[in-house]
Amino acid sequence: MNNHLATTLAGSAAAAAVGLSLISPAAAARPADVPGSEHTAPPLVIGHRGAAGTAPENTVAAFKDGRASGADFFEIDVQLSADGVPFLFHDDTPARTTNVEEVFPGRAADPITSFTWAELQRLDAGSYFGEKHAGESIPHLDDAARIATPNTGVYIEIKSPRNSPGVEAVVAAELATDPRWKRLVAADKIQVLGFDEASNRTFAELAPEVPLQQLSGSVPGAATLASWAGFADSVGTNYRTLTEQNVADVKNAGLVMGVYTANSPEAVQAAIDLGVDAVTGDFPLQAVRHIEGREPFPGGSGLVIGGSVNNPAGDDVQAETGEYVLVRNTSGRPVDASGLLLRDAANNVLRVGGGYVLAPGAELRVYTGPGTNSADAYYNGGTASVLNNGGDSVALWSKRGKLLDVFAN
């Protein structure tokens, strides 16, 4: 563990609550006490893949949203192109978030790392999120340093290192030699992270001065945590699996506790209540507003997501009774729900057709699969499930592109 970080955390309860660096300007500006939380200082907020809830993930647009949110960091995923260029992309293939089939027919299932940097630059990585972002390109690693500031730093996840041999050395060299990255490292505004323990150990040897986070789907036992404490500064895990005992175990090992991907204000608060030090999510602006005690979705129409049925009895997209998201009118007036868009964390989209005006207190079930539309049910007619059975987050957008609510279960 980095000595400067260990000393900071051990010597200050407030710093321990804030977590992975000295209290940042963004965090220091927030109130010291959050209703419903036992913390004396707020956790760090990290924008996931930039701010993947409001812009196409791992693009400059998302990094700018993350910076504008007031978050302490935004997170990126780095891989190496076929010719060794560090680029920012999450998935192992280009199929989900690019127009690869149009540009390179037949290569949608190819490893993203099999593309050269020049080929990657021909792909559109923004249109999948909406026309507004058409033409967003796949960024170079250094594009993130260009967007970052002394207030909003960068979490650099080394993604699928087995597909990018030598990526640890490339990242370490960039952080040590590029003036923009060097300034961020000196300001404690960089952290490297990854799921692959061997890769993390390699990076720790190359750049011991850079804080390092070991990611894991769940918190392991004390022996493993003690081992991780030999090279890592923190642990990041899925907030859905976290328990109060997990948090205690991590902190007893001398490590900082972070969670991903807490998207709704309720999920953020649940993590805070467990005592975490850092919260990563797709909607950093809404997380910051919640932590500051402000309305996360100001100026809304009164339409919210009241719940979802992710795993109904039978098939998820069976006719009439498959999976659905529940939209509720919480206002005291009728609200037109026509044209609403529901987008989950993987950018699966459900829509509401025309003619749906919800009375005060009324609810509308928005189904993925086929069925008979009625006053309280709209069917998208899809043939594949959208909602993760183990839990998902869903954002509600107006037809004019205003974010109205985020729900997670």
* pLDDT one-digit tens code per residue, 103-145: 999 999 999 999 999 999 999 999 999 999 999 999 999 999 9
Rounded (10°) CA dihedral 385, 136, 341, 288:
100
Residues 64 and 35 sit within 8 Å (Cβ to Cβ)? no
Q: Give which of 167, 197, 189, 190 is closest to 79, Cα–Cα.
A: 167
Residues 232 and 214 sit within 8 Å (Cβ to Cβ)? yes
pLDDT band (50, 70, 90) for residue 246: very high
| For range 289-306, the mean pLDDT | 96
Helix or strand or coil: residue 406? strand
Q: How far apart are CA 291 and CA 165, in angstroms?
A: 40
The string over 273-284, giving b where at least 16 C-beta atoms fall within 10 Å of a residue's C-beta and e elsewhere, is ebbbbbbbbbbb
pLDDT band (50, 70, 90) for residue 232: very high
Helix or strand or coil: residue 203? helix
| For range 332-351, the mean pLDDT | 97
Going along the chain from its start, the domains and CATH numbers come out as 3-291 (3.20.20.190), 303-408 (2.60.40.1260)
Spatial strand order in the sheet of 377-379? 303-309, 324-329, 363-367, 377-379
| For range 161-178, the mean pLDDT | 98
pLDDT exceeds cutoff 90 at 33: no
| Cross-strand partners of 325 | 308, 366
pLDDT exceeds cutoff 70 at 25: no
- How many other CB atoms sit within 10 Å of the CB of residue 400? 6
Helix or strand or coil: residue 19? coil
Would you say the pTM of this structure is higher than 0.85? yes
